Amino acid sequence: MIARSPRRGDLGGSDDAREGSTIVGFGHYVPERCVTNHEIEARLGLESGWIERRTGIVERRYAADTEALSDLARAAAEMALRASGIDRARVGLLLLATSTPDQPLPPTAPLVAHQLGLTGGAVDLAGACSGFVYALGMADAFAVRHRRPVLVVAANILSRRLNERDPATASLFGDGAGAVVVAPSRRLGSRAGVLGIDLASDGSAYGLIGIEAGGSCEPFSPTMDVAATQMRITDGRAVFSRAVHMMTASSQAALSQAEVSASLIDYWIPHQANARIVSATRQKLGVSEAKTVTSVARYGNSSAATIPLSWSLLAERQSLPEGACFLLSAAGAGMTGGAMVYRL
């Protein structure tokens, strides 16, 4: 299935094995509250079907008032750790990809690690929608170099950063979490883990998606307009074209690096921005619809969480065989993005 390229030998210099990684556990969590398009359309005075026609989204989940980001992350992580069957004392690192931590300081990852009984390193990654791809690349490198498992979690509670009167954001975003446990692998005569990765950024589009307040440029203040603390998309058409371009270019670069054609991957899991971006990118890449994994209709856009959430839902539905080849693609605020070819 995969074109062969020269393999890096093991520590003894043999060419029969390549140190890599593999995913040994998947997990996900979505809040109980289901928010339908009808609820949002009625509030905004939109005609029935408006949201689904433009986004492909039918419903999304909102966290309960009593739920924090750490709660979502911990639930997904628990599922992944149980599925992996590994000793938690062996986990060397927890990477939490999120744009909505429990609080600005300290990072949320150490709290989640403590709640899970982990004592290794723990850090947040603020990579917006591409955060999971970045985190998985780092996890693979850590597992390969240090031969210890890594827990990667991506989670967001975006419902608390929405302007409920703005159709552009209220229709898209929801809450959720996904997690994977990445472990070292030395399967003989095989390549496992990250086969190709391409990371990208385009700071010229920095202002297209964001939350203005709360940073060093505009600190919180008692007189602040609440709109400054909410998600804003300034130009939807520009976001669409730049996201499709970034996801396509990064995917092609990662496939080239891995020496795998798009037709030979087993599954493509894109960031679930909306159905139109997924469809346009899929057509440019030449990936069949049957190989495309989506969850956007039921869960909306939970930023970095969408890829691992979709991956875990897939693993829950069917067995994913050893050697299965995945293409992951993402682009989002910043703009930051990337793609990865990963082999189980």
**Catalytic positions, written as ranges:** 129, 271, 301
The continuous run of DSSP H or E covering 121 comes out as strand 121-125
DSSP β-ladder status, 33-36 and 20-29: unpaired
At residue 188, the 3 state secondary structure works out as strand
Residue 296 to residue 33: CA distance in whole angstroms: 16
Residue 272 to residue 254: CA distance in whole angstroms: 19
23, 182 contact by CB (below 8 A): yes
Helix boundaries (H) for the chain = 37-44, 50-55, 69-84, 109-116, 131-146, 167-170, 236-258, 275-285, 296-299, 306-317
Q: At what angle do helices 236-258 and 275-285 cross, to 10 degrees?
A: 40
**Cβ neighbours of residue 90 closer than 8 Å, sequence gap 6 or more:** 148, 149
Q: How many residues does the chain have?
A: 344
Residue 326 Cα to chain centre, angstroms: 14
